[in-house]
Amino acid sequence: MKDDLPVALVPSGVKAELFKSMGHPARIQVLEMLADGPVAVSRLRDDTGLEPSNLSQHLGVLRRQRLITPSRQDGRLFYELSCPEVSSLLTAAHSLLGIVLQTTRLTLSALDESARETAVR
């Protein structure tokens, strides 16, 4: 689903609601599970360990943001990502966190080295 809207036309409040809808570990876990294709609700429940009512609430949040779509196959309810960009966003977040972690490690390493040099003096 390609969107040619200029960035300035998407209000920051709308973007914040998108990120807020993804702001729970269970919802991130569900989205990551769906990255490889449709998954039955029963498997989502089993693999997340969430109670059915709790899972239903999380799925509802993701549905309302149009991040996932439901379908029925052989009487079973499945969910899948609404578009590949959802998976791309998760991948980008993973990369960003790796960079932040590496930067933090370098900063801590430099501080540790500085503290050792000070202790030796």
Q: Is the pLDDT of residue 2 over 90?
A: no
Determine the average pLDDT of the residues in 59-77: 96
- The Cα–Cα gap between 62 and 81 comes to 10
Residue 89, judged by CB atoms within 10 A of its CB (0-12, 13-18, 19+), counts as middle
Residue 6 has pLDDT above 80, yes or no: no
- pLDDT tens digits, 12-42: 888 899 999 999 999 999 999 999 999 999 9
Give the residue-averaged pLDDT of 93-100: 91
**Res. 111: pLDDT tops 80:** no
What is the sign of the dihedral through the CA atoms of 94, 42, 58 and 14?
positive
Cα distance between residue 34 and residue 27, in whole Å: 11
Q: What is the mean pLDDT of residues 89-106?
A: 89
Band (pLDDT 50/70/90 cuts) for residue 1 is very low
Q: Is CATH 1.10.10.10 what the domain over 7-120 is classified as, yes or no?
A: yes
Rounded to 5 degrees, φ, ψ at 23 are: -85, 30
Q: What is the pTM of this model?
A: 0.77
**What are the boundaries of each domain within the chain?**
7-120
